[in-house]
Amino acid sequence: MYYQLINFGNEEFYAYPNKSLFWKRLNTLIVSDLHIGKSISYARNKQFLPPYDTKEILDKLFACLDKIKPSNLIIVGDLLHDVFSTLSLNDQDLKNLSQYMNNTDFIWINGNHDKKIKIEGFKNFTNYKIDKFLFTHIPIETSSFQICGHYHPKIKISHRGKTIFKTSFVHNEKIFILPSFGILTGGLDINSKQISDVLGKKNLSIYPVGQDKVYKL
């Protein structure tokens, strides 16, 4: 699995095609917007999605933890899709999570989808700061460098007469937005007003995610 080296805030981060970000100096893995249990939440409203998202997301997360063996896992919001999503976590899922927590601190920044939801073993925060970096779900006014989620950024790429959208990591000088780690989450165009209002339109560093590699535009 090929990573892309990203320099942000004079620190080196490694972006992986599984849409995780690794801060090697502090042995910290960062992911965003898993939206676990989205299918079960939608089913309650008679909107039926393939009911495998929780297993696929957890399998991907556990594989990442097995490979990197981080000291910390920071989830920058929307671990769960909503309060009903906890119903998609079975006893074995909770047992597996607990086992990984023996070696890794799970730091959960609450997002707009999972406010006030608790899971035993997770450390919950509204924002979480390490050195000059603030981890938050949605960017706030601050002088710190921010690493966040929420927007599920993607970029439109035209090649040989075809146009495709690729999930992307993106940052300006102060704010870094992670792609969604989830399965059924969709995304927003980096050129959309919502993202432009946060990052602006100039001097952006954009890293589209391929199947086995993260690229740099």
Residue whose C-alpha is closest to residue 15's, from 26, 25, 4: 4
Separation of alpha carbons 130 and 133, rounded Å: 5
Average pLDDT in the chain: 90
The predicted pLDDT at position 51 comes to 62
* Lowest-confidence region among 15-19, 125-129, 161-165, 190-194: 161-165
Quick check: is 60 in a domain?
Answer: yes
The predicted pLDDT at position 85 comes to 72
Quick check: is 213 in a domain?
Answer: no
Residue whose C-alpha is closest to residue 18's, from 1, 33, 6: 1
Quick check: is 214 in a domain?
Answer: no
SS3 for 45?
coil
Whether the pLDDT of residue 44 is over 80: the answer is: no
**What number of other Cβ atoms are within 10 A of residue 211's Cβ?**
5
Domains: count for the chain:
1
Whether the pLDDT of residue 42 is over 80: the answer is: no
Quick check: is 216 in a domain?
Answer: no
101-149 residue pLDDT tens:
999 999 999 988 787 788 888 889 999 999 999 999 999 999 999 999 9
Quick check: is 215 in a domain?
Answer: no
Domain of 173? Answer: 4-208
What secondary structure letter does DSSP report for 214? B
Quick check: is 217 in a domain?
Answer: no
> Would the pTM of this model clear 0.85, i.e. be above it?
yes
Higher pLDDT, 23 or 90: 23
Quick check: is 140 in a domain?
Answer: yes
To the nearest 10°, report the CA torsion of 152, 49, 75, 153.
-10
Contact, 82 vs 35, CB < 8 A? no
Whether the pLDDT of residue 50 is over 90: the answer is: no
CATH code, 195: 3.60.21
Contact, 48 vs 184, CB < 8 A? no
Quick check: is 77 in a domain?
Answer: yes
What secondary structure letter does DSSP report for 34? -
